[in-house]
Structure 1
């Protein structure tokens, strides 16, 4: 898989703890400017901006300019793919837990 495809992959985008924290912060607000996001991290504004660019490439974040300020907003739709993928494994483990419970009760 080349770098461009990796940047657009929602799984790669959410694999990084910094980006997961950004998603959480954006989920708690409607729109957030970069200067309000940066203090939540032990990195500079440029590094936070690069993480936001990866989230944007994966379509997890939208942005709009207001004057010189850029405001970011979460687009949760791509996370549905992750939820659907995890749902299969949740069912798998629930079935396994039920089998284990039955074995233990015998």
Structure 2
């Protein structure tokens, strides 16, 4: 993923958008412009990169079959149970 940051400072741009898009396409990268100042596309950039990482890891997990359709798990979260019984804590941890 190629991210152009500080898109709010158009007058100080060092790389034109078209040039960045062409570079990203040539190198098989996704492209997005962001601005932390006005929160433009910041969340979208993180969401995109995390989705790509998830897909990449999932494809490797499924034996490299890139035909497998994967998507991130819903927003319900994961419940993690304690690994030890709270009643059997050691004395040094009883104040915690």
Same fold (TM over 0.5): no
Instruction: Specify the structure having the higher radius of gyration (Cα).
Output: 2
The answer to which structure, 1 or 2, has the higher relative contact order (CA under 8 A, 6+ apart) is 1
Q: Which has the higher helix share?
A: 1
Q: TM-score, normalised by structure 2?
A: 0.30
Q: Which has the higher strand share?
A: 1
